[in-house]
Structure 1
Amino acid sequence: MGLEWSEQSTMKIVVLSDTHMPKKAKHLPSIMVKDLETADYIIHAGDWQTTEFFHELKQYAPIIGVTGNVDSPELKTLLDKKEILRAGDFKIGVVHGHGTGKTTERRAVDTFMMDEVDCIVYGHSHIPVKKESNGILLFNPGSPTDKRRQKDFSYGILTIGGKIEAEHIYFDDKS
């Protein structure tokens, strides 16, 4: 389990979750495509929905992704439920966060309890989160196609260099 990427001093990782394509959108939001075109890596924290979307996204940059609770059986043969990406000097845990009991965030944190990670990327709730807990950056990008009760659609960007910097990109039109 896990992938490694450490070829350059700074890298841009586009972070997605809960895209639910093609159910919630027929194409990627144009604002996000611009970032995908310059991404060194893509993290997808589950609920893609189809393998077709996985292959579409793979055309932009290398992907590390996990399955969510609505993903197809075909996707579940391609991807695991948990991954760890080594990015430079950092380890990034990726999980969807679905399950029973506890909050989505608590389930995501508990998934990596036995691993040494610097950042945990998770999805499922469609709620953007960026905070630190016990020295670990917790990051949920929200959803670029299914904002639910959120004001805006969103995705994230991690910039990895001497440290991990995380930001949300918010937008109100998913076209």
Structure 2
Amino acid sequence: MIIGVVSDTHVGGRIKSLPKELLDGLRGVDLIIHAGDILKDFVIYELEEIAPVEAVAGNNDDYYMQHKLGVKKIINAGKFKIGITHGYGGVNALKKAMATFARDSVDCVVFGHSHAPYNERIDGVLYVNPGSPTDKRFQKQYSYALLKVDDSGISAEIKYF
């Protein structure tokens, strides 16, 4: 199973649409995870044209999106569990994501917020921040991630463009 992972798309203000590079890169995935700061719900519908979507709301998403999506979710991917959160706290986004799932048994945590890609295994749990495909801030390139889930485990690759 291949899972596309995005976060911090921020579509609706100065960012008008998802980039072609992202949409092309997600074609063929089995599932898409969006880790928040979506802003406009049509982003979810656009991604659903490619694959089913699991999403959580971020700190920039309005009350409706937060109520509709929630801010924490655990999904099954094969025999593995993936935790999804936005991960508030700027440079502490990883620590906030870790704390969010500290009492849960998960194999992977997907988070966003910092716009900085991250792909590391800590104490047996894979932590993945896909960065942002629309607002790279201090990063050199835009990014998203692909998770590969099979019987041997979960791995991630950050994709840059």
Q: TM-score range by the shorter chain?
A: over 0.9
The question of whether the paired residues in 1 share the 8 Å contact of 2:18 and 2:43 is answered with no
The question of whether the paired residues in 2 share the 8 Å contact of 1:44 and 1:64 is answered with yes
Match of 2:139 in 1: 150
Matches within 5 A, 1:1-80: 11-80=1-70
For residues 36-80 of structure 1, the C-alpha deviation after alignment (integer angstroms, 9 at most, x for no partner) is 221110000000011122222222211111110000222122201
How far residue 12 of structure 1 moved from its aligned partner, in angstroms, is 1.0
Instruction: Tell me how many residue pairs correspond in the alignment.
Output: 160
For residues 10-38 of structure 1, the C-alpha deviation after alignment (integer angstroms, 9 at most, x for no partner) is x1100000000022432222121123221
Q: Distance in 2 between matches of 1:32 and 1:140?
A: 15
The question of whether the paired residues in 1 share the 8 Å contact of 2:58 and 2:113 is answered with yes
- Residue range with higher mean Cα deviation, 113-122 or 73-82: 73-82
AA at the equivalent of 1:152: Q
Identity of aligned residues (%): 45
Give the alignment's Cα RMSD to 1 decimal. Answer: 1.5
The question of whether the paired residues in 1 share the 8 Å contact of 2:78 and 2:150 is answered with yes
Q: Distance in 2 between matches of 1:160 and 1:136?
A: 14
Structure 1 unaligned segments of length 5 or more: list them: 1-10
Q: Distance in 1 between matches of 2:137 and 2:101?
A: 27
How far residue 99 of structure 1 moved from its aligned partner, in angstroms, is 4.6
Match of 1:124 in 2: 113
Q: Distance in 2 between matches of 1:134 and 1:27?
A: 37
The question of whether the paired residues in 1 share the 8 Å contact of 2:5 and 2:32 is answered with yes
Q: Distance in 2 between matches of 1:93 and 1:70?
A: 20
The TM-score with structure 2 as length reference comes to 0.94
Structure 2 unaligned segments of length 5 or more: list them: none
Q: Distance in 2 between matches of 1:170 and 1:36?
A: 13
